[in-house]
Amino acid sequence: MSTSLDRVTDQLLGPRDVVVVEGPDAATYLHSQVSQALLDLPVGERRWTFVLDPTGKVDGLARVTRTSDERFDLDTDAGFGTALLARLDRFRIRVDATTRLEGAGPADPDPDTEAARIALGWPRLGAEIVPGETIPGGTGLTAIAVDFKKGCYPGQELVERMDSRGAEPPRALRRVTVPEGTRPGDPVLDDSDPAVEVGVVTSVAGTEALAWIKRGNDIGVPVRFEA
């Protein structure tokens, strides 16, 4: 089951940190660093992208808006802008572009917003997506955050290999129903054998939750977003 991207609203995303990349080389540099194609992004338009480490693990998830020919604003979950800025600066050598952070700062999720996010299945950094550990394939976001026709970028090899082989990731993010009182970090148990753990809960609102479920299990509803 896929969910349309237009249901992912600013209200659902909550407070955002913004990393600004600006200068004559901003477009070419960002295009070389992220999983999304940005060279053809029109001014005023925006696209989602992963920022990966060289092994293909997620360093960041951001929404990129082109605000002028030479300026891009990357908004990401509050509290993760500093790490995104550091990652983009890591390879910014002899690049005619500046970077800066316009931060919202850490924010506790509003309960109603968090419940809506979980119901929709949108992953949050620090909860479903753990920087340096999560691979893109299981997040349900590759259809909107990866351009499989663009050139090289850090981490591309793993993403392309899984796509070309139709490989199923070791774990996939799913929406699941859980007992009252369930907390993030609690195990998800096999319906047919409660002694077997098949996943782990990452976010909870009442009896609705998001969880990483191991490959080969059909518990819950897979998270998939389409443009």
pLDDT value for 1? 66
pLDDT value for 219? 94
pLDDT value for 191? 82
Cα Rg, the chain, nearest whole Å:
18
Q: Cα–Cα–Cα angle for 41, 49, 54, nearest 5°?
A: 120
Note the pTM of the prediction, 2 decimals: 0.94
Determine contact, residues 211/199, Cβ cutoff 8 Å: yes
Among 60, 24, 27, residue whose Cα is nearest residue 154: 60
Domain 3-164 class, CATH top level: alpha beta
56: left (phi over 0), alpha (psi -120 to 50) or beta: left
For residue 72, give both structure tokens.
């891009």
- The type of residue at 60 is G
Three-state secondary structure call for residue 215: coil
Positions of CATH 3.30.1360.120 in the chain: 3-164
HSE-CB at 52 with a 13 A cutoff on CA atoms is: 27
The tens digit of pLDDT for each residue in 77-118 reads 999 999 999 999 999 999 999 999 997 766 778 899 999 999
220: left (phi over 0), alpha (psi -120 to 50) or beta: left
CA distances from 81 to 22, 61, 63, 74, 125 (A): 16, 10, 12, 9, 11
pLDDT value for 25? 98
Q: Cα–Cα–Cα angle for 157, 160, 163, nearest 5°?
A: 145
For residue 28, give both structure tokens.
């070419």
CB atoms within 10 A of CB 197: 13
Average pLDDT, the chain: 95
The tens digit of pLDDT for each residue in 129-151 reads 999 999 999 999 999 999 999 98
pLDDT in tens, the chain (227 residues): 689 999 999 999 999 999 999 999 999 999 999 999 999 999 999 999 999 999 999 999 999 999 999 999 999 999 999 999 999 999 999 999 999 999 776 677 889 999 999 999 999 999 999 999 999 999 999 999 999 999 899 999 999 998 888 778 999 999 999 999 999 999 999 888 888 999 999 999 999 999 999 999 999 999 999 98
pLDDT value for 104? 74
Number of H helices and E strands in the chain, helices first, is 6, 12
